[in-house]
Amino acid sequence: MPIIKWKVGIVSCSGEEIPEGTISRVATRLVLEKLRPDETVTICLPLFLAGGEGERTFAKVFPTITVDGCEKRCAEKGTMKYSGKPFATIVVTDSLKKCPDVGLKSRDQLSSEELVLAEKVAEEIAKKVDEALNQEMKQLRSEKP
Amino acid sequence: MSEKGKVVVVACAGMDKPLGSVTSASVFKVVEKLRPRNVELVCIPPLLSGVSSHSELIRNLPVITVDGCAERCATKLIVKSGGKIRGRIFVPDSVKKHNLLPESASHLGPNGEKLVENIAEEIAAEVDRLVQET
């Protein structure tokens, strides 16, 4: 019997127009590379939207977490349209409301303050990853004969 | 500045590959440092979500696409959305040309940074060419 390791797909917005988009991408990379490297994969949003079958199929089968930089919620909308409801959605502008003193400046290089914000968003994502995997495990256990 | 001296740049965001990070970093250099007055950066997902200001920009101004891999999502999606592509940068070609590779998606390293500088210059040269033509 094949062993399937459950993974969570993180779909980050491209967010090239605003610094919050850079926070989305940096936070996503922190989760993929440092916080939950074995439990997560990323889904390339432009490829997903362009019709990437692998990406769309993955997002239909495995739980996804969308990370959007702004209220346009492009990652969430795209995932809903092509693969179904994400397990969780994170909007960086909402997360930043908890840190009103930090003004975001550049899309290119994050300052040390901005990097701390990205780390906080990454922790939020990691928490959702754990919740998604716990839910999948519970469901698997309940389906056992 | 009138719309006449403006060019749209559309880059793939390529979260899943190091060259996607190179692509993003290169266009940021162009829009924030090299040619801030001439470039409108259009993000792909809102364009596809139907944000009308984005559709108008890609239809009315010359577009440069910057693709990080052979899927060429930026080019494909601009064609599909009715944009006027007047310049294209294919990052894997630039990698071969400059013989430079990034270390990883999150840490480009000195060679990756050098590659970003070179690609940003290539994009800026395309911007200048298109601005001259308009």
On whether residue A120 sits in a domain, the answer given is yes
On whether residue A3 sits in a domain, the answer given is no
On whether residue A139 sits in a domain, the answer given is yes
Chain mean pLDDT for chain A: 88
State residue A145's pLDDT score: 64
On whether residue A68 sits in a domain, the answer given is yes
Residue A124 to residue A35: CA distance in whole angstroms: 11
On whether residue A85 sits in a domain, the answer given is yes
The structural domain count of chain B equals 1
On whether residue A12 sits in a domain, the answer given is yes
Chain B contacts of A107, Cβ < 8 Å? 28, 31-32
Q: Indicate which CATH number applies to the domain containing B85.
A: 3.40.50
On whether residue B122 sits in a domain, the answer given is yes
Residue B114 to residue B128: CA distance in whole angstroms: 21
On whether residue A98 sits in a domain, the answer given is yes
**B32-46 pLDDT tens trace:** 999 999 999 999 988
pTM: 0.88
Cβ of A27 under 8 Å from any chain B Cβ?
A: no
On whether residue B133 sits in a domain, the answer given is no
On whether residue A76 sits in a domain, the answer given is yes
Domain of residue A44, residue span: 8-143
Domain of residue B43, residue span: 3-128
Question: Identity (one letter) of the amino acid at A80?
Answer: M
**B95-110 pLDDT tens trace:** 999 999 999 888 899 9
Cβ of A28 under 8 Å from any chain B Cβ?
A: yes
For chain A, counts of helices (H) and of strands (E): 6, 4
Residue A82 to residue A84: CA distance in whole angstroms: 6
On whether residue B57 sits in a domain, the answer given is yes
Query: In the block, which residue shows the tokens 């994400």?
Result: A86
The structural domain count of chain A equals 1
CB contact under 8 A, B45 and A13: yes
- The segments of chain B whose pLDDT lies below 50 read 1-2
Cβ of A50 under 8 Å from any chain B Cβ?
A: yes
On whether residue B134 sits in a domain, the answer given is no
Sign of CA dihedral B16, B22, B24, B25: positive
How close, in Å, is residue A20 to chain B by CA atoms? 13
Q: Which residue of A has its CA nearest to B106?
A: A29
On whether residue B16 sits in a domain, the answer given is yes
Cβ of A45 under 8 Å from any chain B Cβ?
A: yes
Cβ of A4 under 8 Å from any chain B Cβ?
A: no
State residue A144's pLDDT score: 65
